[in-house]
Amino acid sequence: MNKKFYITTPIYYPSAEFHIGHCYTTIIADAIARYKRLSGYDVFFQTGTDEHGLKIENKAKEAGVTPKEYVDKIIENAKDLWQSLNISYDFFIRTTDDFHVKRVQEIFKKLYDQGDIYKGEYKGLYCVPCESFWTETQAADGKCPDCGRDVTEVTEEAYFFRLSKYQHKLEEFYETHPHFIEPESRKNEMLNNFIRPGLEDLCVSRTSFTWGIPVTFDEKHVIYVWIDALTNYITSLGYPEETPEFKKYWPADLHLVGKEIVRFHTIIWPAILMALGLELPHQVFGHGWLIIDGGKISKSLGNYKDPREYINTYGVDAVRYFALREVPFGSDGTFSEKALITRTNGDLCNILGNLVSRTIQMGIKYFNGVVKNPGVSEDIDAYLVDSINNLKSVVSEKVDALKINEALECIFEVLRKCNKYIDDTTPWVLAKEEDKLPRLETVIYNLLEGIRICAILLQAFIPTTSEKIFKGLNITNTDFSALDIKEEVYNLGLEKPANLFERIKED
C-alpha cells in the first residue's frame, strides 16, 4: 500500500476576498501535495474556510445580508480563485458544513464530560478585527500586538479549556519530537514566550455573539473560534467517528500555516489532541509573510489587489513560480509586481522558455523532430549529463526539507547549464558538416533529456507549463517513474510549442 501524506492549509476567514498572502500558503501546499502524489504517496490535501465569529457577523450586518449569505459569496470567489491557480485540493471544508457543526459539538461535549472544559468567567482584552484575545501583558499599551488597533475590555460567563494542564506534556513532546515545529526559531519563540512563562486556561465559548456553533448543553454559548477552527483537520476525516479515512490519514503530516498562527497550531491544537487521546501532527511549518510596501498584506488593512488580476496579466505559472521561488521559505519577503515581472522575464522567459523553443526548433530543423541518442559523447557533456542524472534526488531532498525555493533553484541551475551547453557545443556549427551529424544528435538529445527531466519535476510547481513542454517533446510518460528512464526516445516528432512565456515590458 502506498504511504499516505496528509497536508493542510489554514482554513481562511471569508471576512473579505482572499489576497496574494492566502495564495502564497495555498500554492506552496499545492506544490508539496503534487510533488508527493507524483512520488507515489496517497495524498490528502485539505483547505477550506473558517466562517464563524463576531467579525463576520459584523461584516454581514454592514452589508445587509445574513452571515451565511455573506460568506457564501466570498467562498464561491475563493473556489474560483483556487481553480484559476490550479490548486489540486482533495477536500474543501467549510466550518458551516453540517457534518463539521455536529462533530465539533460532540468534541466539545466529550471534553466537557471528561473535565477538560469547565465553566468560568472571562475577563480580557479583545481585538475585534483580529478576533484575538490578549492578556494585559501582551496588549500593555491597550493596542492589539498584531494590528496595532485598540483592544476592548470584556467580561462574560464562558467555558474554558484546561490548557494549563498540558504545559509539561507539551514541553516533553517538543523535546522528543525536534521537528514538530519548523523553522527552529519558531519553536524557541513558542517555548520562551508562551509555554515556559506558563499557559493560562483558554476561553472556548462566547455569549456576546451568535454566529457560531451552539454548545448543545448550554445554548446561549457559541463555541469560540479556535476549537471550531482547529478541529477542521479531523472532522473532515469523520472524527469523532473512527472512519476508514480517519484511520488512514490522521495524524496530519504537515500543517502549513503563517507565522502568526503557529501558536494556535503548536500549543492549543496539540493540547486539544492530547485531551482527546489522539496522535499529534508530524509537523507544523510556520512560514513568513508576504509584505507589501513594508507592511503585511492583510484583509483588515485592505492593501491589495484581487490575485486574479495578476493571473490574467502574467499567467498562472508566473504567479505560482513567484510564490514558490522568490522568498526563502520561512522568511518574510516583499511582493511587488515589479519583482514578479523580473522573475518571470529572468527565469521563465530567458532561461526556460528560450531553451525549450531553441532546442525543439533545432531538433525539428536538423532531424525532422525525431531524435535518439547515437552515443557520440565527449568529455564536455559530463557537467550537464551528471547534473541531469542527480537532479531527482537533489530536488526531492529539498522538497522533503520544505526548501521549496531551493528545489526550484536546483532545477533552474540545470536549465542554465543546458543553455551554456548550447553555447559550448555550438550545434549550428556541427550542423554544417555531414560527419558531425551523429555528434549533433547526441547534443540535441542531451538537451532534450535535460528539458524532459526538468519538466517532469516542474509539474509539481508550474503544471500548465510542464504540460506544454510535454506536448512539445511529444511524450506521454511523465510521472516520476519516468525520471528513471535512461533513454527516452523522441520518435513521435517534436512539436514547436507555443511561446511558453511572453516577455513582459517592465513599464
Quick one: 297 or 362, whose CB is closer to ligand ME8? Answer: 297
Count CA atoms closer than 13 A to 391's CA, side-chain side.
30
> Binding ligand ME8 by CB under 6 A: which of 35, 285, 289, 490?
289
Q: Say whether residue 48 binds ligand ME8 (CB under 6 A).
A: no
Q: In this chain, which stretch among 228-236, 352-360, 423-431, 468-476 interacts with ligand ME8, using CB under 6 A?
A: 228-236
Q: Say whether residue 333 binds ligand ME8 (CB under 6 A).
A: no
Q: Enter the C-alpha cell of residue 252.
A: 496530519
| Helix runs in 85-192, H state only | 98-113, 167-176, 184-189
Quick one: 145 or 493, whose CB is closer to ligand ME8? Answer: 145
> Binding ligand ME8 by CB under 6 A: which of 21, 212, 363, 463?
21
The CA distance from 448 to 465, in Å, is: 16
Q: Say whether residue 224 binds ligand ME8 (CB under 6 A).
A: no
Smallest gap from Cβ 204 to ligand ME8, in A, equals: 14
> Binding ligand ME8 by CB under 6 A: which of 43, 101, 223, 230?
230
Cis previous bond, 178, omega within 30: no
Quick one: 92 or 480, whose CB is closer to ligand ME8? Answer: 92
Q: What are phi and psi of 304, to 5 degrees?
A: -155, 165
> Binding ligand ME8 by CB under 6 A: which of 10, 240, 315, 363?
10
Quick one: 12 or 174, whose CB is closer to ligand ME8? Answer: 12
Q: What is the bridge-based pairing of β-strands 132-134 and 117-127?
A: antiparallel
Residue given cell 472544559 in the structure block:
117
Q: Enter the C-alpha cell of residue 333.
A: 519577503
Quick one: 13 or 224, whose CB is closer to ligand ME8? Answer: 13
Q: Enter the C-alpha cell of residue 170.
A: 507539551
CA nearest to 455, candidates 425, 426, 477: 477
The CA distance from 466 to 56, in Å, is: 40
Alpha carbon 114 to chain centroid distance?
36
Quick one: 36 or 255, whose CB is closer to ligand ME8? Answer: 255
Task: Starting at the earlier edge strand, list the strands of the sheet with 132-134.
Answer: 132-134, 117-127, 152-161, 202-203
Q: Say whether residue 93 binds ligand ME8 (CB under 6 A).
A: no
**351 DSSP assignment:** I
Smallest gap from Cβ 260 to ligand ME8, in A, equals: 6
Quick one: 27 or 453, whose CB is closer to ligand ME8? Answer: 27
Q: Say whether residue 229 binds ligand ME8 (CB under 6 A).
A: yes
Smallest gap from Cβ 14 to ligand ME8, in A, equals: 8
Segment 413 to 472, residues that bind ligand ME8, using CB under 6 A: none
Smallest gap from Cβ 56 to ligand ME8, in A, equals: 10
> Binding ligand ME8 by CB under 6 A: which of 7, 297, 311, 402?
297
The one-letter amino acid code at 323 reads A
Q: What is the bridge-based pairing of β-strands 42-49 and 254-258?
A: unpaired
Quick one: 25 or 425, whose CB is closer to ligand ME8? Answer: 25
Quick one: 8 or 465, whose CB is closer to ligand ME8? Answer: 8
* Paired strand residues for 157: 121
> Binding ligand ME8 by CB under 6 A: which of 67, 258, 281, 353?
258
Residue given cell 472524527 in the structure block:
239
Q: Say whether residue 45 binds ligand ME8 (CB under 6 A).
A: no
Count CA atoms closer than 13 A to 323's CA, side-chain side.
28
Q: Enter the C-alpha cell of residue 209.
A: 455573539
Tell me how many degrees the CA angle 29-35-40 measures, rounded to the nearest 5: 125
Binding site for ligand ME8 (CB under 6 A): 10-13, 21-22, 24-25, 50, 229-230, 232, 257-258, 260-261, 289-290, 296-298
